[in-house]
Structure 1
Amino acid sequence: MGRKVILDVDTGTDDAVAIMFAALHPGIDLLAVTTVNGNVPLENTMDNTLRVLDWIGRSEVPVFAGLPRPIVRAGFPSARHFERDSDDDPHGSTLPIPPARSTSRAGGAVEFLVETLRATTQPLTLVPVGPLSNIATVLAIDPSLTEAVDEVVVMGGGHAEANVTASAEFNVWADPEAAHVVLTAGFRRLTLVPLDATHRALVTRAACARLADLGTPAGTAAARFIGRRIDAYGAAAPCGGAAPVHDVVCTAYLVEPDVVTTRHLPVAVDTAGPLTVGRTVVDTRPDSRGTPNAHVAFDADAGLLVRLLTEVFARDPAADGPASAPGPG
Structure 2
Amino acid sequence: MGRKVILDVDTGTDDAVAIMFAALHPELDLLGVTTVNGNVPLENTTDNTLRVLDWIGCPDVPVHPGVPHPIALFGFPGGRHFDTDDEHDPHGTALPIPAPRTAARDTGAVEYLVETLRATTEPITLVPVGPLSNIATALAVDPTVAGAVDELVVMGGGHTVTNVTASAEFNIWADPEAANVVLSADFTRRTLVTLDATHRALVPQRTCDALDALGTPAGTAAARFIARRIGAYEQTAVGAAPVHDVVCTAYLVAPEVISTQHLPVVVETASPLTVGRTVIDTRPHAKAEPNAHVALDADAQLLNDLLLATFAREAAS
Alignment of 1:113-124 (within 5 A): 113-124=113-124
Q: How far off its partner does 1:41 sit?
A: 0.6
CA–CA separation in structure 1 for the residues paired with 2:206 and 2:305: 13
Paired residue for 1:327? none
**Cα-to-partner distance string for 1:191-222 (whole Å, 9 max, x where unaligned):** 00010000000000011000000000000000
Paired residue for 1:204? 204
Paired residue for 2:267? 269
Alignment of 1:161-180 (within 5 A): 161-180=161-180
Amino acid at match of 2:76: G
Amino acid at match of 2:292: A
Q: How far off its partner does 1:106 sit?
A: 1.2
User: Structure 1 pair 224/20, CA: closer, same or farther in 2 (3 Å)?
Assistant: same
Q: How far off its partner does 1:293 sit?
A: 0.3
**Maintained 8 Å contact 1:186/1:293:** no
Q: How far off its partner does 1:238 sit?
A: 2.4
**Maintained 8 Å contact 1:198/1:249:** yes
Paired residue for 1:149? 149
Amino acid at match of 1:17: V
Secondary structure at the residue paired with 2:87? coil
When normalised by structure 1's length, the TM-score is 0.94
**Cα-to-partner distance string for 1:174-204 (whole Å, 9 max, x where unaligned):** 0000000000102110000010000000000
**Cα-to-partner distance string for 1:13-34 (whole Å, 9 max, x where unaligned):** 0000000000000000000000
Paired residue for 1:284? 282
When normalised by structure 2's length, the TM-score is 0.97
**Maintained 8 Å contact 2:37/2:131:** yes
Amino acid at match of 1:39: N
**Maintained 8 Å contact 2:79/2:174:** no
CA–CA separation in structure 1 for the residues paired with 2:34 and 2:79: 26
Paired residue for 1:107? 107
Paired residue for 2:221? 221
**Cα-to-partner distance string for 1:148-182 (whole Å, 9 max, x where unaligned):** 10000000000001000000000000000000000
**Maintained 8 Å contact 2:39/2:82:** no
**Maintained 8 Å contact 2:68/2:78:** no
Secondary structure at the residue paired with 1:152? strand
User: Structure 1 pair 222/88, CA: closer, same or farther in 2 (3 Å)?
Assistant: same
Taking every aligned residue pair, what percent have the same amino acid on both sides?
70
User: Structure 1 pair 212/81, CA: closer, same or farther in 2 (3 Å)?
Assistant: same
Amino acid at match of 1:137: T
Alignment of 1:1-329 (within 5 A): 1-73=1-73, 74-75=75-76, 81-84=82-85, 86-234=86-234, 237-317=235-315
Secondary structure at the residue paired with 2:115? helix
Secondary structure at the residue paired with 2:69? coil
Q: How many residues are paired up?
A: 316
Q: How far off its partner does 1:43 sit?
A: 0.6
Unaligned runs of 5+ in 1: 320-329
